[in-house]
């Protein structure tokens, strides 16, 4: 526990953490700022300690403005709009049209972590945009047959788990009132809600192909620089396109019994890589040292040692220098 004064006693080979709470609270709370500063100073004074995952990589997912930019740049995700501050309704309505968002839209808080971040709304018309509370993002709702595919990543491995999800809604604006919901009431394994129960019989869509999921995970691992994260994927019922709606830091891995063995295997692989990297660093260091030593011996052999330029001393040294090189 990083609040404990002896946590720095280490040394640690690897630190696996979920400091999302602390990072978010450090925005406004001095105790969290202090904890985070302590932790960062430990990490920077122990460069050989491996951090899973690096703090800057995690921070980018704690802010939906940043994470949705990444999602939109790299992968297929629904059109979205950042709402920075309370603006007049007409300019928000205009921005929704300009960004080609389609109703209904889902409104999510800017901060992606903590209990408040799971409070969302489903907005059905331009007039109902008055219900939003900036800063937030608006994201086009994509009909997906009420099935969410959670992809849980643990280092080089990943696992897919099906979850309930919001049901289909008729596309286009309508005069329905805004629906306020908590994401954990619609997409946890045990959820049963009117919002997830399909009205009509929906043919079961095929899950995303394993090749597409593997390619998605590979790309995200490189781009995010993270090993422990979750990707929420839905399949658009009209286009059958794999669509990413959310990326989570170190999720719960519920429904993944292989989580702990996979985490241990990943940590072992990190330690192996680290120790062979250190071995190679030593070998490289001694090679460079050897090279300079040999050059020195060779030069010394040709020019003679200072104050003793006797030719007789040079000849054996030339041989020695050549041998060392």
Ligand X SMILES: O=P(O)(O)O[C@H]1[C@H](O)[C@@H](O)[C@H](OP(=O)(O)O)[C@@H](OP(=O)(O)O)[C@H]1O
The binding site for ligand ATP (CB under 6 A) comprises: 78, 106, 108, 112, 117-118, 139, 141-142, 144, 148, 165-166, 183-184, 186-187, 232, 234, 245-246, 248
Q: How far is the CB of 27 from ligand ATP (least distance, A)?
A: 18
In the complex with ligand X, the residue whose CB is nearer, 148 or 301, is 148
In the complex with ligand ATP, the residue whose CB is nearer, 25 or 246, is 246
Identify what 78 binds: ligand ATP, ligand X, none; CB under 5 to 8 Å per kind. Answer: ligand ATP
Long-range CB contact pairs, 5-10, < 8 A, 24+: 8/38, 8/42, 10/42, 10/46, 10/49
| Residue given tokens 């992606």 in the structure block | 112
In the complex with ligand ATP, the residue whose CB is nearer, 42 or 232, is 232
Q: How far is the CB of 247 from ligand X (least distance, A)?
A: 9
Q: How far is the CB of 115 from ligand ATP (least distance, A)?
A: 10
Q: How far is the CB of 258 from ligand ATP (least distance, A)?
A: 20
Q: How far is the CB of 287 from ligand ATP (least distance, A)?
A: 49
Tokens of 306: 């200072």
Distance CA 302, CA 51 (A): 51
Question: How many Å from the N-terminal Cα to the C-terminal Cα in the chain?
Answer: 53
User: Can you give the binding site for ligand X, defined by CB under 6 A?
Assistant: 20, 113-114, 150, 188, 230, 248, 251-252, 254
Name the residue number minimizing CB distance to ligand X: 252
| CA-based R_g, the chain, Å | 28
Distance CA 110, CA 83 (A): 9
Contact status, residue 317 vs residue 300, Cβ threshold 8 Å: yes
Q: How far is the CB of 14 from ligand ATP (least distance, A)?
A: 25
Helix axes 311-324, 259-303, angle to 10 degrees: 160
In the complex with ligand ATP, the residue whose CB is nearer, 78 or 321, is 78
Identify what 128 binds: ligand X, ligand ATP, none; CB under 5 to 8 Å per kind. Answer: none
Contact status, residue 271 vs residue 298, Cβ threshold 8 Å: no
In the complex with ligand X, the residue whose CB is nearer, 20 or 143, is 20
For residue 290, what is the enclosing H or E element? helix 259-303
- In DSSP terms, 160 is beta-bridged to 151
In the complex with ligand ATP, the residue whose CB is nearer, 75 or 234, is 234
Identify what 252 binds: ligand X, ligand ATP, none; CB under 5 to 8 Å per kind. Answer: ligand X
Q: Is 287 helix (H, G, I), strand (E, B) or coil?
A: helix
Distance CA 157, CA 153 (A): 6
């Amino acid at each position: 526990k990083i609040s404990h004064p002896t946590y720095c006693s280490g040394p640690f080979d690897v630190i696996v953490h979920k400091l999302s709470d602390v990072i978010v609270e450090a925005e406004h709370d001095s105790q969290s700022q202090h904890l985070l500063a302590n932790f960062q100073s430990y990490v920077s004074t122990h460069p050989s300690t491996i951090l899973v995952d690096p703090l800057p990589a995690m921070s980018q997912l704690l802010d939906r403005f940043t994470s949705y930019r990444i999602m939109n740049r790299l992968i297929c995700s629904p059109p979205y709009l950042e709402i920075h501050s309370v603006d007049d309704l007409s300019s928000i309505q205009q921005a929704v049209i300009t960004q080609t968002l389609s109703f209904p839209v889902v409104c999510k808080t800017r901060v992606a972590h903590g209990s408040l971040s799971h409070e969302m709304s489903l907005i059905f018309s331009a007039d109902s945009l008055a219900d939003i509370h900036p800063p937030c993002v608006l994201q086009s709702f994509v009909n997906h047959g009420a099935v969410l595919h959670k992809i849980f990543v643990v280092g080089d491995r990943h696992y897919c788990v099906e979850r309930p999800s919001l049901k289909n809604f008729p596309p286009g604006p309508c005069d329905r009132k805004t629906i306020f919901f908590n994401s954990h009431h619609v997409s946890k394994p045990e959820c049963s809600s009117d919002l997830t129960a399909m009205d009509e019989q929906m043919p079961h869509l095929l899950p995303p192909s394993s090749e597409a999921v593997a390619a998605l995970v590979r790309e995200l691992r490189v781009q995010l620089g993270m090993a422990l994260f979750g990707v929420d994927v839905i399949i658009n019922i009209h286009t059958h396109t794999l669509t990413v709606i959310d990326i989570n830091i170190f999720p719960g891995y519920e429904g993944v019994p292989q989580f702990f063995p996979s985490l241990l295997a990943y940590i072992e692989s990190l330690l192996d890589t680290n120790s062979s990297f250190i071995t190679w660093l030593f070998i490289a260091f001694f090679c460079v040292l050897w090279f300079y030593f040999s050059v020195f011996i060779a030069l010394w052999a040709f020019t003679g040692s200072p104050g003793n330029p006797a030719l007789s001393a040079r000849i054996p040294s030339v041989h020695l220098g050549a041998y060392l090189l």
